[in-house]
Amino acid sequence: MQYFCFSCKSLYILYYTLNTINKYRYLVLIQKTPRRCVMSTMSFSIPRTIYYGEGSLEKLSLLKGKRAAIVTGGNSMKKFGFLDQAAALLQKAGIESIIIDGVEPNPSVETVVKGGKAMLDFGPDWIVAIGGGSALDAAKVMWCFYEHPELSFEDIITPGSMPSLRNKAQFIAIPSTSGTASEITAFSVITDTAKHIKYPIVAADMVPDIAILDPALPMTMPKHITANTGMDVMAHAVEALASTAATAFTDPYAVQAIKMVLQSLPVAYAEPKNLAAREAMHEASALAGMAFTNASLGLVHSMAHKIGGEFGVTHGLANAILLPYVIAYNRKVSDKYAYAEKMLGLADLSKAIEEMNRKMDIPSCFKDCTEVDFNEAKFKEVLDRMSEHAWEDPCTLTNPGKPTALDVKMLFEAAYYGKAVE
């Protein structure tokens, strides 16, 4: 398998060897340059244009084009009038639109294939994704299947394998949640429901052309979604900072995002209609996205992808629970957490995260999580498989140190039972 690093533009060749003693596969990277991405030429990619602030949704009326496919999720965008508003603004611009809705919280392979076919029938020159991260993620992969209908999902799983986009359409992302930063990034997470695996799809071309950050949209989020998506922002920023592909370009965005989440998330949670806090969290999400789409992530996301696939737990909630455990593990090999603490005047970043989780009623371990049924017998049954899949996740490649599948298993057990990290 090949892995393309978008930070350093290097191609890694991956293969696995089987250890006959413990039966775990070990990842081997063959590359002409060091794993920390030491190269003379690197890149930093973000959307060409970012509109932000109150009323920024109105920018849709200035587009030039003929047809637009609007992709959204459940009923919230329709319920609060944003879907109708987006369609009306496109109509004002002289653009005919269709709506592709019903994207589920963990968008499936079936959903993105179906959406790609709908786009193929309509022929849009703009794809407008509006809603939570799931809608934005799904729209990105629909876009791929619209531009390249000959491809299967298996053809794009390997990072760097997606062919070029923008041959038929450009992409606009309008987030309703302050969390995934899909409006900024080259990432999409799609679930194979048959295999119970979430796949992070990575392609530089999936960075949207335009991001619109209107704080009116996230003001409609319920408190628990505010908490979960906000902690997703924190996980993005912290993991981008600690990533082995972090650079002088990505670190400032990561640190600023951490600072803004610590200051604004508790306010947004306690005061849902606080426009300043909502706007700050929307911007923090984008800043964290700028960091991690160029620096990648780490074990928090690798593990969240897999436990989410197995149990259906919300991604941001999984990140919030996992983050303190992974920080404890990574501190042994990374000084970036101490760096953040120094820059932000914090005594202990992990303790600050744990305290924020507590204030927002986020449990400290999966065993105490009531969002889904974390049955202990099932957890033990899937633990080895889940650990292996998390270790194989592309996000693990840029985690500090050299974690093994056994390390991942230990972290899953610690996060499930609330045990100290060894």
Which residues partner with 199 through β-bridges?
A: 190
Let me know whether 351 and 400 are in one domain.
yes
- Residues 399 and 156: their CA atoms lie apart, in Å, by 23
The confidence score (pLDDT) of residue 197 equals 82
Let me know whether 149 and 268 are in one domain.
no
For residue 41, being part of any structural domain is answered with no
Let me know whether 230 and 207 are in one domain.
no
Q: Which two tokens stand for residue 252?
A: 């400032």
Q: Tell me the chain's radius of gyration from C-alpha atoms.
A: 20
Are the beta carbons of 388 and 303 closer than 8 angstroms? no
Instruction: Label residues 270-293 b or e (16+ Cβ within 10 Å = b).
Output: eebebeebbbbbbbbbbbbbbbbb
Where is 50: in which H helix or E strand?
Answer: strand 49-52
Q: Are strands 126-131 and 67-71 parallel, antiparallel or unpaired?
A: parallel
The confidence score (pLDDT) of residue 41 equals 64
Q: Which two tokens stand for residue 263?
A: 């200051």
User: Which residues constitute the domain of residue 108?
Assistant: 49-219
Specify whether the backbone of 114 is left (phi greater than 0), alpha (psi in -120 to 50) or beta: alpha
Are the beta carbons of 127 and 68 closer than 8 angstroms? yes
Let me know whether 215 and 237 are in one domain.
no
The confidence score (pLDDT) of residue 43 equals 74
Whole-number Cα distances in Å, 149 to 119, 146, 163, 204, 420: 10, 6, 12, 19, 48
Are the beta carbons of 350 and 358 closer than 8 angstroms? no
The whole-model pTM stands at: 0.82
- Residues 100 and 119: their CA atoms lie apart, in Å, by 9
Let me know whether 337 and 410 are in one domain.
yes
For residue 297, being part of any structural domain is answered with yes
Domain boundary among 184, 219, 254: 219
For residue 31, being part of any structural domain is answered with no
Q: Over the chain (422 residues), what is each successive 10-residue block's mean pLDDT?
A: 37 31 30 38 80 96 97 91 97 98 93 97 98 95 97 90 95 93 89 85 91 94 94 97 96 98 97 94 95 93 93 94 98 97 97 97 96 93 96 93 96 97 86
For residue 4, being part of any structural domain is answered with no
Report phi then psi at 225, rounded to 5: -70, -40
Let me know whether 182 and 235 are in one domain.
no
Are the beta carbons of 328 and 421 closer than 8 angstroms? yes
